[in-house]
Amino acid sequence: MSLAFYSMRLAKAVLMIQLGTLIVLSLLFILKSTHYGASALAGGIAAWLPNILFTFLAWRLQGQSPAKGRVAWSFAFGEAMKVVSTIIMLIVALGVCGAAFWPLAISWLSVCVVQVIAPVVINKKG
């Protein structure tokens, strides 16, 4: 489920909840060690920044009436860039920076799960 199917207000709310999840998990893991905290931060950022990139690419045509098929290509390009940037960021975090795997994976997965669950919770409240 992508942010493209929701309003911009909802997308911003989901991104802020993801940021909060990222910060909370990083602070929890930093209690064990700074290396674990930095690894959790890297994992959360590897999930959060590509979502920001996708949101930007998905809504760049929002005010226009684009040619037929252009919206679909914009979403497809945004998703492709999101996947590629996520893979690159995870490779850099694990391979170059030597991040601990479990804190990175737990933080990355948690931020990704928030992307799916937050819109449901927000829509039930409003």
Q: 21-70: per-residue pLDDT in tens?
A: 999 999 999 999 999 999 999 999 999 999 998 888 777 766 566 666 66
pLDDT confidence of residue 69? 66
Residue 36 near residue 30, CB atoms below 8 Å: yes
Say if CB 73 and CB 26 are below 8 A apart. no
Q: What is the pLDDT of residue 6?
A: 52
107, 114, 96: which is closest to 41 by C-alpha?
107
Average pLDDT over every residue of 95-106: 95
Select from 47, 50, 25 the least CA-distant residue to 38.
25
Q: What's the whole-model pTM score?
A: 0.84
Q: Which residues 6+ apart lie within 8 Å of 4 measured at CB?
A: 54, 58, 75, 78
